[in-house]
């Protein structure tokens, strides 16, 4: 059995760590376990196991104590406990404190359908968003734009923190190079000034009322764009949509920059 003892980061970082664990288990025929799953995830996703392995994802009573203990150990030892998955000893119990150490692109790509089925969004959330999305759609091409703000102002020295004018420039460029009708659904962890985008001649909407609703709307869109983030990665992967990674504020992005995640991983890129 492969066991993950640490869940760190926000919702989609946690989803990535669990989905990578699930993919590795399916690929190698090993049962998987994570006893420290955030309770909030169970309110958003069904965790429906239709695979041929045993999957034990739950929130144990000792979760918070374990989190504190591991943080203390890491700080004292200055060790992130990274190690690789031992394929030669698959029948032995293997424990991980760092999910990046077992992330495997091939396993993820091979088992992406199982990942989508397992982490199915709760029907009451999905159905509500789908109904609103259909009303917004109006037979046009819809691009979901993840305006990642908040912590990105200081993360990596703000390299991927873009103001409205930069997003507007990219969105107008895509609109002007497209023959059909385009609408943009905007999602952010900060309040969005829709009027600024409308005054630039863009057809925009911001229907999401929570993080999970935003994630659902992004996955429903025909295309997804946003800075490097597990959030927009998950939306595009889950919805099986092409995504444009906005990782250079000075670049002019085109429709050719939208790619399925399998295309990126198959050429050696990494999940971001």
Query: How many Cα atoms are found within 13 Å in the side-chain-facing hemisphere of 131?
Result: 6
Tell which wins on pLDDT, 128 or 73. 128
Measure the CA–CA gap between 245 and 147, rounded to whole angstroms: 12
Joined together, the tokens standing for residue 183 give 């609408």
Residue 7 pLDDT > 90: no
Cα distance between residue 145 and residue 207, in whole Å? 12
> Do 227 and 188 touch, CB atoms closer than 8 A?
no
Closest CA to 184 of 168, 165, 205, 154: 205
pTM of the full structure: 0.89
**For residue range 147-201, what is the model confidence (pLDDT) as tens digits?**
988 888 788 888 899 999 999 999 999 999 999 999 999 999 889 999 999 999 9
Higher pLDDT, 90 or 42: 42
217 touches 224 (CB < 8 A) = no
Give 269 or 33, the one with higher predicted confidence: 33
Comparing 67-76, 112-121, 239-248, 253-262, the range with the smallest average pLDDT is 67-76
Torsion of CA 175, 179, 183, 187, to 10 degrees: -50
Q: Determine the pLDDT at residue 79.
A: 56
Mean pLDDT of 115-140: 95
* 122 pLDDT tier (thresholds 50, 70, 90): very high
If you average pLDDT over every residue of the chain, what do you get? 88
Structure tokens at 91: 């029948």
* Pairing label, strands 182-188, 141-147: parallel
> What is the DSSP track for 208-226?
--SHHHHHHHHHHSSEEEE
Q: Which of 2, 110, 125 is nearest to 53 (CA)?
A: 2
Look up residue 67 and give its two tokens.
Answer: 């989190």
* Residue % of the chain over a pLDDT of 70: 88
- Given a contact cutoff of 8 angstroms between Cβ atoms, the answer to whether 112 and 234 are in contact is no
């Amino acid at each position: 059995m492969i066991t993950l003892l640490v869940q760190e980061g926000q919702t989609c970082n946690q989803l990535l760590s669990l989905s990578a664990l699930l993919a590795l288990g399916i690929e190698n025929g090993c049962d998987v376990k994570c006893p420290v799953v955030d309770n909030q995830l169970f309110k958003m996703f069904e965790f429906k196991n239709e695979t041929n392995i045993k999957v034990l994802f739950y929130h144990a009573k000792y979760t918070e104590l374990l989190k504190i203990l591991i943080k203390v150990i890491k700080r004292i030892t200055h060790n992130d406990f990274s190690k690789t998955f031992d394929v030669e000893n698959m029948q032995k119990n293997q424990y991980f404190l760092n999910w990046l150490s077992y992330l495997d692109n091939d396993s993820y790509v091979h088992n992406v359908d199982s990942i989508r089925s397992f982490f199915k969004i709760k029907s009451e959330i999905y159905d509500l968003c789908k109904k609103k999305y259909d009303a917004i759609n109006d037979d046009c091409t819809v691009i979901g734009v993840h305006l990642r703000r908040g912590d990105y102002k200081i993360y990596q020295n703000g390299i991927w923190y873009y103001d409205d004018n930069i997003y507007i420039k990219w969105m107008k460029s895509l609109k002007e190079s497209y023959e059909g009708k385009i609408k943009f659904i905007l999602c952010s962890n900060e309040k969005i000034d829709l009027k600024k985008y409308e005054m630039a001649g863009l057809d925009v909407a911001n229907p999401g009322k929570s993080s999970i609703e935003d994630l659902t709307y992004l996955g429903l869109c025909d295309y997804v764009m946003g800075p490097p983030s597990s959030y927009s990665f998950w939306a595009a992967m889950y919805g099986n949509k092409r995504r444009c990674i906005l990782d250079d504020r000075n670049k002019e992005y085109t429709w050719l920059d939208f790619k399925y995640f399998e295309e990126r991983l198959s050429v050696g890129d990494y999940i971001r």
